[in-house]
Structure 1
Amino acid sequence: MTDTNIITNSEALGEIVIAPQVIETIVAIAAAKIDGVYSLRNKRFADLIGKKADGRGVYVRQDEDKVIVDIYVYLTYGVSVPSVAMTMQSVVKENVLDMSNIVIDEVNIHVAGVVPEKTPKPDFKDLFDEDFLDVD
């Protein structure tokens, strides 16, 4: 992830700028809800010890005019890897476009492993910071 902001719209009234962390959060939630996805995987050691868990396993970068997303996941045993990956790509692109009006040019899925059937899937709330999902 870079610290640069992603500019979504520039008009006479001003600019709308969305931080990459917001895109990472949207992508992480969309990816975690897809059938066949066991959990997201941290790529960097800093993600393991960081306090914020909302973007773990998701990395957004901007290369010239392209927005590229890398998602690192563990899949559930028995699912079709290509099918889950293609579903994840389309769902992520749609969710980000709907919520931020940003077009994702590439969604790269990195399957880190397959988890056996007997391993219980983590609760959705365990994947994110406890304050993150509170809507009170």
Structure 2
Amino acid sequence: MMEETNIPLANGPAPLGEIEIAPEVIEVIAGIAANEVDGVYAMQGSFKTGVNELLGRTAHNKGVHLTVDENGLSVDVYCYIKYGASVPKVALDMQEKVKEQVLYMSNLEVSQVNVHVVGLVAPKSEDNTYLDLDTELGENA
């Protein structure tokens, strides 16, 4: 379970003062990084994020859950993958991108990134026309 306290960014004594980051900020970094991976259709949202998006607020931490424990930082990512994409490749790319971006932006090491693929999304037809076999056969019979 995510702690409500901020995460210190410096390991030693800071000469000018302490630097801390809210766990939600790490979730936002991970969410944006994961969503940028080729093959990802969308992140899984909750009812709360759906309401926020209806109100015009973008939830960049949608589909991301951070756990801080004795093992370090663990990130769980819940996403939808585009149909036809290699799920293992997309998941590996997400793991690498999330770890890389969190390290770059916060200097924090992520111990693990768990990717949960909750669904596949098929591409929509360009002209939105579908073949209705019953209609076609009825007209030609």
| CA distance in 2 between partners of 1:116 and 1:92 (Å) | 25
For 2:97 and 2:77, the matched residues in 1 are separated by: 13
What is the 5 A alignment of 1:1-136? 1-9=2-10, 10-13=12-15, 14-42=17-45, 44-50=46-52, 51=57, 53-118=59-124
Moved beyond 6 Å, runs of 4+: none
The answer as to whether partners of 1:38 and 1:73 remain within 8 angstroms in 2 is yes
Give SS of 2:49's match.
helix
The worse-fitting range, judged by mean Cα deviation, of 91-100 and 51-60 is 51-60
In the TM superposition, residue 7 of structure 1 has moved relative to its aligned partner by: 1.4
Distance 1:84 1:116 in 2: 16
Give yes or no for contact 2:71–2:111 (8 Å, CA) kept in 1: no
Q: Distance in 2 between matches of 1:19 and 1:39?
A: 24
Q: Percent identity?
A: 47
With the length of structure 2 as denominator, give the TM-score of the two structures: 0.76
Q: CA RMSD in A?
A: 1.9
Question: Which structure has the highest strand share of the two?
Answer: 1
Structure 2: how far apart are the matches of 1:62 and 1:45?
A: 24
Whether the 8 Å CA contact 1:2–1:60 is kept in 2: the answer is no
**Per the alignment, in what secondary structure is the counterpart of residue 97 of structure 1?**
helix
Contact 1:76 1:114 in 2 (8 A): yes
Matched-pair contact (CA < 8 Å) for 1:25–1:55 = yes
* 1:16 CA displacement: 1.4
> 1:6-60 CA distances to partner (integer Å, 9 max, x unpaired)?
1120424232111111111111111111100000002x43333345512111111
How many correspondences in the alignment? 119
| Cα distance in structure 2, aligned partners of 1:22 and 1:81 | 27
How far 1:92 sits from its partner (Å)?
0.7
